[in-house]
C-alpha cells in the first residue's frame, strides 16, 4: 500500500485522535481535524495537478478513508463525502466552476458535502421530489433534503434536482451562503457517527445561475452511477474496514494488558484467542477486498462494479460482527465505556442503513452479476 495510507495514519494520530472521543461524546463536528486536512493537503487529494491538487484517484481515496477510519469513523465519513463531491467536479464540472471551487479548497481550506437523500426516497437518493423552475439562465429550487452530512460546516453542497429533460436529473453546487438555504441542526441524534452533523437541509426559493450546474443538462444520473457510486461505495467499504481494524486494535490491546492476580492476561484464555482471531480475520478480509475493489475500479476492469459492491456490503457487515466479538472481549470495561468499543459498534451500525443501504446494494450486486440493469 502506497504512501497515502501511511501519511493518513500519521496524520490521524496527530490531528484526528485528539478529538475523536469529544466528537462522539458531544456530537461535535471535527472542525479542528478538517482545518488540518486542508493545511496538510488531504482536501486536495483528488484535485487535478493543473489546478494545484495532487491528482490522485480511487485507490488513494480508499487508502485515505481507511487510514482515517482506523482512528475516527466520523471524520473519515465526512472526508469521504468531500472527495466524492470533488470527483463530480473533476469529471463533469466546467473549467470556471472547477477553478473557483478548487481554488477555495486549496487556498482557504473549504470543503464539500453531498445533499442527496430525501425523506420520500430514503436510501434511493437519486430519486428527487424537489422542484426546479427555470427562468432563462436562472433556476429556482424548493425542497428538503433529509440527511446532509457536514451540514452547515461544508462550504459547498452537491444537490440533485429535476432536469428540464423529462425523467432526468441535474447535479448542482449550492454555496453555503445561498439565500434560502438553512439547516435543522437540532434534528441530528445519530446512534453512531455522531459528529457528522447529518441533518435536514431546507431549500426555500434558492435561485442559482446555470454556472452552478455540474455537467450538461440532464447528466445527473450519469454522474450518480459513474462517479458518485464507485467513489462513495468504495469509500464506505474503506471506512468500515478501518472501523473493524480499529476494533481489532482495541480488543487485542485490552486482552494483552488485562492482568489477573496470578500474572496471566486475558489473552491467555483460548476463547479470547478465538475471538481475537475472528476479529482480525474479518477486519483483514474487509480491508483486502476493499483495496482490491479500489484497484479494479481504478483500472476499469470488467468486474470492478461487482467487487466494489461486494466490498462495501462485506465491510459493513464485518464491522458489526467485529464489534459484537470485541464487546465480548472487552466485557464489563467495554460495556461501561472504559474502552471505545461501544462507540465503534454504534458507528458500525450506520453501515447497514447508509444510502445505498446494504440491502439495496445486495440487490444491485445480484443484478450486476446476472447482467441486469442497475437500478
pLDDT tens per residue, range 118-173: 998 876 778 899 999 999 999 999 999 999 999 999 999 999 999 999 999 999 99
Q: What are the φ and ψ backbone dihedral angles of 275, each rounded to 5 degrees?
A: -60, -45
Taking residues 286-309, what's their average pLDDT?
98
Predicted local confidence at residue 337, as pLDDT: 95
d(CA 207, CA 178): 8
> Which residues of the chain form beta strands (DSSP E)?
112-115, 131-135, 138-148, 156-162, 169-175, 181-183, 199-209, 213-214
Predicted local confidence at residue 251, as pLDDT: 98
Predicted local confidence at residue 22, as pLDDT: 95
Cα torsion angle, 226, 227, 233, 234, sign: positive
DSSP helix/strand/coil, 172: strand
d(CA 228, CA 88): 7
Predicted local confidence at residue 355, as pLDDT: 84
DSSP helix/strand/coil, 124: coil
Taking residues 238-249, what's their average pLDDT?
98
Taking residues 68-78, what's their average pLDDT?
98
Predicted local confidence at residue 127, as pLDDT: 82
Taking residues 34-61, what's their average pLDDT?
98
Strand partners, 134: 139
User: Taking 60 as the threshold, does the pLDDT of residue 320 lie above it?
Assistant: yes
d(CA 225, CA 220): 9
Measured between alpha carbons, how far apart are the two ends of the chain, in Å? 33
Fold (CATH) for 115-217: Butyryl-CoA Dehydrogenase, subunit A; domain 2 (2.40.110)
d(CA 127, CA 106): 32
Predicted local confidence at residue 123, as pLDDT: 67
For the stretch 6-43, pLDDT in tens is: 999 999 999 999 999 999 999 999 999 999 999 999 99
Name the average pLDDT for the chain.
96
Predicted local confidence at residue 126, as pLDDT: 80
Predicted local confidence at residue 367, as pLDDT: 96
The structure's pTM equals 0.97
Q: Which three cell numbers stand for residue 26?
A: 458531544
For the stretch 197-228, pLDDT in tens is: 999 999 999 999 999 999 999 999 999 999 99
Sketch the domain layout of the chain as residue ranges: 3-110, 115-217, 221-369
Q: How confident is the model at residue 328 (pLDDT cuts 50, 70, 90)?
A: very high
For the domain bounded by 3-110, which CATH number is listed? 1.10.540.10
Predicted local confidence at residue 202, as pLDDT: 98
Q: Which three cell numbers stand for residue 117?
A: 437523500
Percent of the chain scoring above 70 in pLDDT: 99
Predicted local confidence at residue 121, as pLDDT: 80
User: Taking 60 as the threshold, does the pLDDT of residue 1 lie above it?
Assistant: no
Percent of the chain scoring above 90 in pLDDT: 95
**CATH for 221-369, options being 3.90.79.10, 3.40.50.11540, 1.10.10.60, 1.20.140.10:** 1.20.140.10
Amino acid at each position: 500500500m502506497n504512501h497515502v495510507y501511511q501519511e493518513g495514519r500519521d496524520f490521524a494520530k496527530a490531528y484526528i485522535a485528539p478529538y475523536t472521543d469529544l466528537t462522539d461524546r458531544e456530537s461535535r463536528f471535527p472542525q479542528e481535524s478538517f482545518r488540518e486536512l486542508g493545511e496538510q493537503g488531504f482536501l486536495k487529494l483528488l484535485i487535478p495537478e493543473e489546478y494545484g491538487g495532487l491528482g490522485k484517484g480511487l485507490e488513494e481515496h480508499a487508502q485515505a478513508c481507511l487510514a482515517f477510519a482506523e482512528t475516527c469513523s466520523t471524520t473519515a465519513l465526512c472526508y469521504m463525502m468531500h472527495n466524492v463531491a470533488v470527483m463530480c467536479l473533476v469529471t463533469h464540472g466546467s473549467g470556471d466552476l472547477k477553478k473557483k471551487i478548487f481554488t477555495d479548497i486549496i487556498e482557504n481550506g473549504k470543503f464539500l458535502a453531498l445533499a442527496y437523500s430525501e425523506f420520500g426516497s430514503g436510501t434511493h437518493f437519486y430519486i428527487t421530489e424537489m422542484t426546479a423552475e427555470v427562468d432563462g439562465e436562472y433556476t429556482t429550487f424548493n425542497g428538503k433534503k433529509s440527511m446532509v452530512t457536514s451540514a452547515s460546516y461544508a462550504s459547498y453542497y452537491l444537490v440533485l434536482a429535476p432536469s428540464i429533460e423529462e425523467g432526468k436529473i441535474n447535479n448542482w453546487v449550492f454555496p453555503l451562503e445561498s439565500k434560502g438555504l438553512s439547516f435543522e441542526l437540532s434534528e441530528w441524534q445519530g446512534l453512531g457517527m455522531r459528529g457528522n452533523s447529518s441533518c435536514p437541509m431546507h431549500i426555500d426559493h434558492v435561485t442559482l445561475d446555470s454556472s452552478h450546474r455540474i455537467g450538461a443538462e440532464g447528466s445527473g444520473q450519469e454522474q450518480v452511477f459513474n462517479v458518485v457510486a464507485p467513489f462513495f461505495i468504495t469509500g464506505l467499504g474503506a471506512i468500515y474496514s478501518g472501523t473493524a481494524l480499529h476494533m481489532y486494535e482495541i480488543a487485542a490491546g485490552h486482552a494483552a494488558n488485562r492482568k489477573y492476580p496470578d500474572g496471566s492476561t486475558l489473552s491467555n484464555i483460548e476463547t479470547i484467542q478465538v475471538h481475537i482471531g475472528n476479529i482480525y480475520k474479518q477486519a483483514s478480509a474487509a480491508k483486502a477486498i476493499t483495496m482490491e475493489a479500489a484497484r479494479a475500479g481504478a483500472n476499469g476492469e470488467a468486474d470492478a462494479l461487482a467487487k466494489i459492491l461486494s466490498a462495501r456490503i462485506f465491510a459493513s457487515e464485518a464491522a458489526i460482527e467485529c464489534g459484537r466479538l470485541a464487546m465480548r472481549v472487552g466485557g464489563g470495561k467495554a460495556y461501561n465505556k472504559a474502552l471505545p468499543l461501544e462507540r465503534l459498534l454504534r458507528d458500525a451500525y450506520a453501515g447497514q442503513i447508509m444510502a445505498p443501504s446494504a440491502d439495496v446494494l445486495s440487490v444491485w450486486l445480484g443484478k450486476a452479476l446476472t447482467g441486469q440493469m442497475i437500478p
